[in-house]
Amino acid sequence: MQHAVRPRTLLRPGPMPAPRPRTARVRSLIDADALRVLHRAARVLLDDLPQLTDRLVAVLQEQEPAYRTAVESDAAATWQEVHRSLRHSIASLLDPTGAREGARRCSWKIGVTRAEQGLPLDALLHAFRLGGSLVWQGLVDETSRAAPEDVRLLVHVASDVWNFVDEHSTLVADAYRQTERQLAWRRENRVRLLAAALLDGTSRIADLPEAAQVLDLPEHGRYVVVAAAGGRLAGCPGAQAALAPGVRVHWHTGVDADYGIVPVEDGEEPIVQEEQPPGARVGVSGAVDGLAAVGDARRLADTALTLCPESGGTVRLTEHLPAALVASSPELGAALVDRLLGPLAHLEPADAEVLLDTLATWLACDGSAQRASRRLYCHRNTVLNRLRRYEQLTGRSLSRPSDLVEVTLALTARRLLHP
């Protein structure tokens, strides 16, 4: 009996791994040899670190003027900084992973410190490039001395050295710029705080020398404060338009107005533009002595600003002192209005308005009924009759100086308190 013959299963081999290219293996061996050469030379540099530091400090003094000044001002601190930076740089060549964070912290701190000291960033980056060149030259020199045949292998690790220099140059620049921004913000904030304290009148006597230095203003000079609001003057430096070009001023942005602290000579007033943009209002204080009195000048400038009509314009306080007196004490102004103009309240509003308008026009015309009549388009006798009627209703005499002063102030208060 014949047995069926089972077909024999043929085992097919799987795909054979591709043979490793010879060039890759050669490259791997070269890289390993290059690292060995690099590490051997780096360990020698690390042992010789003080001398390497001396060389780099000498190069910096020779080639970088900013570092020459730094060395002259504090040689020990500069040497220690260079020493730490070189130590971290060479350690990173020996152990890139383990030494990375320490090296980064070192470079970041250098960037921060040098920004705080005001060393130019270009000088700092130049120092890092010089340090990288010195380390590379040290590796080449040591390898040439110990094993000249291995110098060619350093080419394969050159990128490790220069990538480190590039990475840390970027890192130190980032630290420098970040610190520079923080310092600028602090300076600007300090300027704002000092100016605000001067204008508020809350500056301490001990802070005045710093305020004078920071704001570039003489501590004991004479000052006028300009208050600008409305129109296109809102916001510095737009408020500069309130003053003539070339006027020296420090502007400070306030909540309701911008304030300019203007140094002036004795008997001099700041040149203020008479015509302002539509709706722009400018108040100018009288002069005060010293930065300590700038707060008083600011209050006077605010008073002058309240005297500006809503349509805009410029008011110098020294030219409107009676009105300023009323504006600075609204309660007394209201009492004047009630006492001098209150008796007209029982008249018809239109009649009372005619009397008050005639009185105000007569005063604006320096007491000339003839000129007032021309402005009011009526006869001179009509003006005189209205004035006599006011005198009869109030019991005041417009020919009596004290009554005339009170009436003038009362009309001013009425205009300011009831625009």
- Give me the CATH number covering residue 406: 1.10.10.2840
If asked whether residues 148 and 290 sit together in one domain, one would say no
If asked whether residues 132 and 107 sit together in one domain, one would say yes
If asked whether residues 103 and 129 sit together in one domain, one would say yes
If asked whether residues 229 and 378 sit together in one domain, one would say no
Domain membership of residue 227 as a residue range: 218-319
Q: Please state, for a pLDDT cut of 90, what percent of the chain lies above it.
A: 58
For residue 201, being part of any structural domain is answered with: no
For residue 199, being part of any structural domain is answered with: no
Model pLDDT, residue 333: 85
If asked whether residues 133 and 70 sit together in one domain, one would say yes
User: Is it the case that residue 3 has pLDDT exceeding 70?
Assistant: no
Q: Please state, for a pLDDT cut of 70, what percent of the chain lies above it.
A: 87
pLDDT digits (tens, 9 = 90+) for 259-317: 999 998 876 666 676 666 777 888 999 999 999 999 999 999 999 998 888 788 888 88
Model pLDDT, residue 267: 62
If asked whether residues 315 and 336 sit together in one domain, one would say no
Whether residue 322 contacts residue 336, with contact meaning beta carbons closer than 8 Å, is answered with no
Determine the Cα–Cα distance for residues 206 and 186; give it in Å rounded to an integer.
Answer: 20
Model pLDDT, residue 326: 83
Give me the long-range contacts of 68-77 (CB less than 8 A, separation at least 24): 70/117, 70/119
For residue 210, being part of any structural domain is answered with: no
* Stronger pLDDT, 134 or 27, i.e. the higher one: 134
User: Is it the case that residue 6 has pLDDT exceeding 70?
Assistant: no
- In angstroms, what CA-CA distances link 80 with 74, 211, 347? 10, 36, 91
For residue 213, being part of any structural domain is answered with: no
| Torsion sign across C-alpha atoms 358, 363, 368, 370 | negative
Q: What is the pTM of this model?
A: 0.64
Determine the Cα–Cα distance for residues 196 and 85; give it in Å rounded to an integer.
Answer: 43
**Total count of residues recorded for the chain:** 419
pLDDT digits (tens, 9 = 90+) for 315-350: 888 888 888 888 888 888 888 888 888 889 888 999
If asked whether residues 126 and 44 sit together in one domain, one would say yes
Model pLDDT, residue 107: 95
Q: Total domain count for the chain?
A: 3
Residue of 393, 396, 395, 370 whose CA lies nearest to 383: 370
pLDDT digits (tens, 9 = 90+) for 349-359: 999 999 999 99
Residue of 378, 404, 382, 379 whose CA lies nearest to 391: 404
User: Is it the case that residue 367 has pLDDT exceeding 50?
Assistant: yes
If asked whether residues 351 and 245 sit together in one domain, one would say no
If asked whether residues 313 and 406 sit together in one domain, one would say no
pLDDT digits (tens, 9 = 90+) for 94-124: 999 999 999 999 999 999 999 999 999 999 9
If asked whether residues 345 and 288 sit together in one domain, one would say no
Determine the Cα–Cα distance for residues 209 and 197; give it in Å rounded to an integer.
Answer: 13
Model pLDDT, residue 55: 95
pLDDT digits (tens, 9 = 90+) for 199-226: 999 999 999 999 999 999 999 989 999 9
Contacts of 321 (CB under 8 A, 6+ apart): none
pLDDT band at 19 (very low <50, low <70, confident <90, very high): very low
Place of tokens 């420090």: 250
Model pLDDT, residue 273: 62
pLDDT band at 388 (very low <50, low <70, confident <90, very high): very high
Q: Which one of 278, 297, 319 terminates a domain? A: 319
pLDDT digits (tens, 9 = 90+) for 154-194: 888 888 888 899 999 999 999 999 999 999 999 999 999 99
Q: Which one of 142, 167, 184 terminates a domain? A: 184
| Token pair belonging to 354 | 């005619």
For residue 15, being part of any structural domain is answered with: no
Whether residue 252 contacts residue 190, with contact meaning beta carbons closer than 8 Å, is answered with no
For residues 128-132, average pLDDT: 94
Place of tokens 């102004």: 333
If asked whether residues 340 and 309 sit together in one domain, one would say no
Return mean pLDDT, the chain.
86
Model pLDDT, residue 10: 36
For residue 10, being part of any structural domain is answered with: no
User: Is it the case that residue 239 has pLDDT exceeding 70?
Assistant: no
If asked whether residues 270 and 359 sit together in one domain, one would say no
Q: Which one of 319, 345, 366 terminates a domain? A: 319
For residue 411, being part of any structural domain is answered with: yes
For residue 63, being part of any structural domain is answered with: yes
Residue of 277, 275, 294, 136 whose CA lies nearest to 221: 294
Residue 140: other Cβ atoms inside 10 A: 14
pLDDT digits (tens, 9 = 90+) for 55-76: 999 999 999 999 988 888 899 9
